[in-house]
Structure 1
Amino acid sequence: MKSQSATLLAEVRTFRQHHPDVRYVDLIALDIPGHFYGKRYPIEMLEKVAAGSPLKLPQNAVLLGAQGGLFKIGDYCFHDGDPDANRRLVPGTLKPVSWESQPLGQMLITSDGTEAPIEFEPREVLAKVLQRLHHKGIHPVVAFELEFYLFDKTLDHGLPQFAHDPLSDDADDQPTLHIDRLSRFSGVLNDMAQTAKDQGIDITVITAELGPGQFEINFGHLDDGLRAADWAALFCRSTRGVALKHGYRASFMAKPYLQYPGSGMHVHVSLYDGAGNNLLAAHQQQPLRHAVAGCLELLPHCMPIFSPNHNAFRRLGGTVNAATRACWGFEDRDACVRIPDSDPRNLRIEHRLASADANPYLVLAAILAGLEHGLDAQREPIAPLNEDRNSGADFPLDMLDAVRTMQQHASVRDKLGAEFVDVYCENKRQDHLAFQQEINAREYRWFL
């Protein structure tokens, strides 16, 4: 503990030397819907926290709904006295914030690793899954890919407007995969990439996607699953900030346009033993098939994680590369679980179902739980799409059905934690019901 305090203290002091104009640091963590909450600390107080002073925030901040309100979930929120819970600083995450008008820093905090972790905190859920895998001698290597849209900064009566091409000032309203869009939007994209790198994130490939104003950014592969999910979360925060600075809105909304492709969160996962051997490639890739079978078996029971809101379910089916059934395939982007072509050393799965606005900690936890389930059960998967285009298992396509399916599944409760599953499902159910409490214009047109 003393050595960690010394490391954190050195990190804070080094940051202060390099950024003497920074007076405040945002201490932030991801809640259940995938939004950051936290507090803004004077840099002097941060140094005291790094040295060992307590860091406490309300436990129930993790339970916030999509709009920031609290729901009654068991005894939480309204019958527990709203207790504080200890948090700790995440080493290596103290970085400058360049998209604000004033100099600022930010640093991740978490309850995992404290004496009493919050069982339903997303980072703690992932930490438990990773710890269990490590005890079994399984070491995941992970890489995220995130798609997002750029919109004009100004909304039109609450509706998004196409981003304007900075060279022609015309709306970028045509779907295209052309690389010249990367050149036309190079100012904002380069700033996003550089800002992410300043946050310690390894940005690799940038792609112009099919939707108008849609892009994808890939991250490097990491042998630290928590850090990989940290990168995905921090990238969303910095990208939104940089976009506003350039006169755009960046959104990871799953399906902003019905007529264009949605935005996904693709996660590449390979599994290694302690000696660095790829476990999926052993025994003529039989473990790969078992892992795929486990992923597909748990997938229908984790839909509230992969599609965390009403809009995210709109993304499934009807457009490019978005499945409506649990399926897999070799080099097949129509599959939920794709096996990219690779050598045995880099053999991996690419999980393509999650929406871009899903919680990265929970998405990775659910994927790893599926892989673990498959390796333990050692069952054969259904036929890949390469052999049968109709292959696949049904999964829920609306939130209330998805919540019921998740909450009752014994393996999901065991691998992700029963307390987390109950809290998460009730949070999603309440969010969905709250979303329904508004009559829109179409309803009046149809039924008035």
Structure 2
Amino acid sequence: MDAVCSDLLAEVRTFRQRYPDVRYVDLISLDIPGHFYGKRYPIDMLEKVAAGSALKLPQNCVLLGTQGGLFKIGDYCFNDGDPDAPRRLVPGTLKLVGWEKQALGQMLITSSGTEQPIVFEPREVLAQVLERLGRKGIFPVVAFELEFYLFDRQMQDGLPQFPRDPLTGDADDQPNMHIERLSRFSAVLDDMVETARAQGIDATVITAELGPGQFEINFGHLDDGLRAADWAALFCRSTRGVALKHDYRASFMAKPYLHHPGSGMHVHVSLYDEAGNNLLATDGQRTLRHAVAGCLEVLPHCMPIFAPNHNAMRRLSGTVNVATRASWGFEDRDACLRVPESDDRNLRIEHRLSGADANPYLVLAAILVGLEQGLQAGREPIASLNEDRNSGIDFPLEMLEAVQSMQSHAPLREGLGAEFVDVYCENKRQDHLAFMQEISAREYRWFL
């Protein structure tokens, strides 16, 4: 038995000793739209997998649409016989699920690192980008921030309702950032944070955001980009579960209310060399400017990743602190790329464009490709918003146009992998077309 299997087996046995009532473990992985799929394994069978037994799931699970259906994408799904593909357990991710009624565990799985990795699996895409950067002596440090909304558990006519204030029983319908909202909703928020920490997630700062029932959670900085993205994905899963336990709904939908702020995924990234020096701070921050230029050049071609659905595009409509063009600035929250004030050791870029429902693995992969190409090209960026409030580069705000722009962009195809880009773009194209196959009540009112 090799060292990896030995460590995994020890992890499973330690978990069983600590939680003897757990009989099943959910083995989960994120698909292209950002949903978890997987299998529920008896825990004794999990020991066999940890010891080296084969773990396989259909390859095409990764290609599921937002509603779970399969689309014909090249020869995938309908002309390939729906083959299985090997997966492996991700060490260190076996944790107790604290929001289900029954005792249950969960553990991440991935094709990354197997003999036949799935080139369009989101975690594998990020793993390949990180590996390439490592070979170049570039090592990212990453921290995610996620905004989300709480809703009342009961929908009304299919529409979300403001959450009830536990103190007054009234709807929390006043947009504000008051600290008292954290106290009033402390029971559910504290449970969300503690549950996240039980998953191994370093959940730190909580903020009451501007929207009614809207909050933000920050995570600690990590020198492991895969783990940072794991944290973001797992937090979404646990937060939805905890909310239901407290009789709320939690959603990372990018724009749930037309007239209130949307929810974003902000990603802080700094780059270091093998000696621990911050690359962005070198040469009087000239490297920072090159990295910014690369991100801005790639950004318009990454919109299907940063805004992965029709609703996410709605968020980019000029509301507070959301950019409508690719831009950058120092301490400027209207910019896509904000450079927070910091010393040279902690100099970083905050990427603020993505919706909260974007796939964290792919968002980080796309950001890193932009940084990588910027360092390689060595070009100066456009003027910052501090210099010119009208500075910016247009990006597509309609999905079919965005998909075409992404699929035809050669540097992105090289950075993320041509096969992934083709598969991802076709998935988004067909998902969008499927979404549009419904006539709304407004269409009848306007055009009948």
TM-score of the superposed pair, with normalisation by structure 1: 1.00
Find the counterpart in structure 2 of residue 35 from structure 1.
35
Query: Counterparts of 1:76-95 in structure 2 under 5 Å?
Result: 76-95=76-95
For residue 173 of structure 1, report the CA deviation from its aligned partner.
0.3
RMSD (Å) for aligned C-alpha atoms: 0.5
For residue 157 of structure 1, report the CA deviation from its aligned partner.
1.2
Unaligned runs of 5+ in 2: none
The amino acid of 1:334's aligned partner reads D
Q: Secondary structure at the match of 1:140?
A: strand
* Structure 2: distance between partners of 1:54 and 1:130: 26
For residue 268 of structure 1, report the CA deviation from its aligned partner.
0.1
- Is 1:352 aligned to residue 382 of structure 2? no
- Is 1:371 aligned to residue 371 of structure 2? yes
* Structure 1: distance between partners of 2:317 and 2:288: 26
Query: Counterparts of 1:268-279 in structure 2 under 5 Å?
Result: 268-279=268-279
Find the counterpart in structure 2 of residue 115 from structure 1.
115
Find the counterpart in structure 1 of residue 67 from structure 2.
67
- Per-residue displacement from partner, 1:132-167 (whole Å, max 9, x unpaired)? 000000000000000000000000011000000001
* Structure 2: distance between partners of 1:391 and 1:355: 22
Find the counterpart in structure 1 of residue 5 from structure 2.
5
* Structure 2: distance between partners of 1:368 and 1:165: 41
* Structure 2: distance between partners of 1:236 and 1:93: 15
Aligned sequence identity (%): 81
Q: Secondary structure at the match of 2:223?
A: coil
Find the counterpart in structure 1 of residue 328 from structure 2.
328
- Per-residue displacement from partner, 1:174-197 (whole Å, max 9, x unpaired)? 100000000000000000000000
- Is 1:250 aligned to residue 250 of structure 2? yes
* Structure 2: distance between partners of 1:6 and 1:158: 50
Find the counterpart in structure 2 of residue 147 from structure 1.
147
* Structure 1: distance between partners of 2:327 and 2:319: 16
Query: Counterparts of 1:130-209 in structure 2 under 5 Å?
Result: 130-209=130-209
For residue 420 of structure 1, report the CA deviation from its aligned partner.
0.2
* Structure 1: distance between partners of 2:263 and 2:287: 30
Q: Secondary structure at the match of 1:393?
A: coil
* Structure 1: distance between partners of 2:315 and 2:112: 32
Q: Secondary structure at the match of 2:45?
A: helix
* Structure 1: distance between partners of 2:76 and 2:42: 30
Give the 4+ runs in structure 1 shifted more than 2 A: none
* Structure 2: distance between partners of 1:365 and 1:415: 9
* Structure 2: distance between partners of 1:387 and 1:214: 32
Q: Secondary structure at the match of 1:373?
A: helix
Q: How many residues align?
A: 448
- Per-residue displacement from partner, 1:186-212 (whole Å, max 9, x unpaired)? 000000000000000001100000000
- Per-residue displacement from partner, 1:22-44 (whole Å, max 9, x unpaired)? 00000000000000000000000
* Structure 2: distance between partners of 1:86 and 1:158: 40
* Structure 2: distance between partners of 1:429 and 1:158: 26
Q: Secondary structure at the match of 1:412?
A: helix
The amino acid of 2:222's aligned partner reads L
Q: Secondary structure at the match of 1:384?
A: coil
* Structure 2: distance between partners of 1:336 and 1:318: 12
The amino acid of 1:83's aligned partner reads P
Find the counterpart in structure 2 of residue 416 from structure 1.
416
- Per-residue displacement from partner, 1:266-286 (whole Å, max 9, x unpaired)? 000000000100000011001
The amino acid of 1:176's aligned partner reads N
* Structure 2: distance between partners of 1:18 and 1:73: 44
Q: Secondary structure at the match of 2:128?
A: helix
* Structure 1: distance between partners of 2:434 and 2:180: 42
Find the counterpart in structure 2 of residue 46 from structure 1.
46
Q: Secondary structure at the match of 2:434?
A: helix
TM-score of the superposed pair, with normalisation by structure 2: 1.00
Find the counterpart in structure 2 of residue 98 from structure 1.
98
Q: Secondary structure at the match of 1:204?
A: strand
